[in-house]
Amino acid sequence: MLKPGAKPPPMPPPGDEKLQEYLRKHAEDLTRDFADLCHYKSENAALKGARPTAIFMGDSITEAWGLGDTSLFSGGIVDRGISGQTSPQMLVRFYQDVVALHPKAVHIMAGTNDVAGRELLLDIGILCDQRRIRRLAVDKPDQLLDPQRLLGVAPVHAQKNRER
């Protein structure tokens, strides 16, 4: 992780052989395992029936919180963030990485990569994903955290290339 004020390393040029190989492998991985279902397989198994206090489900923002402050994900607080993930990918792995672990609460941080254009999402698709997640979690965790309701903010849905 970079220290504040440090410059990131330069990106390799687009024709760089190592970069192209990485991009090919990443594309193959997405084809083989769209949601990266094995990412937390060993960590989930290591919980051995222990009921987490809360699971933080999300993308790189969630994943990086633990890198910034290692004490954040301790004492029953579990990190299930995967860099670059979109809402559909999180939905695919939601059962095994959240519901099956029977947490007392769930914090979902999703949508950043959707808005960034990593997936083409329609408003109705986002709403369906939210409903599916709630349906999956209804009788599993004691509480499904809803930041929109807690903070009193309206959800904002994005659609790639929307005409104005």
Which domains does the chain show, CATH number per domain?
A: 18-151 (3.40.50.1110)
Tokens read off for 160: 């790639």
- Rounded CA-CA distance 81/62 in Å is 5
User: What is the DSSP secondary-structure string of 134-160?
Assistant: HHHHTTSSSEE--HHHHHT-------T
Residues facing residue 55 across a β-bridge: 78, 106
Q: Residues 83, 63: contact at Cβ < 8 Å?
A: yes
Q: pLDDT category, 138, cuts 50, 70, 90?
A: low
Q: What is the pLDDT of residues 42-76, one digit of tens each?
A: 999 999 889 999 999 999 899 988 888 888 899 99
Contact 84, 59 (CB under 8 A): yes
**pLDDT grade for 19, boundaries at 50, 70 and 90:** confident
Name the band, by pLDDT with cuts 50, 70 and 90, for residue 136: low
Of the candidates 122, 154, 147, the one whose C-alpha atom is nearest the C-alpha of residue 58 is 147
Q: Which two tokens stand for residue 86?
A: 């979109």
* pLDDT-based confidence at residue 121 (cuts at 50, 70, 90): very low
- Residue 68: partners with Cβ closer than 8 Å, 6 or more residues away: 1
Please tell me the distance from the alpha carbon of residue 152 to that of residue 149, in angstroms, as a whole number: 5
DSSP string, 49-83: T---SEEEEESHHHHHHHHH-TTSS-TTEEEEE-T
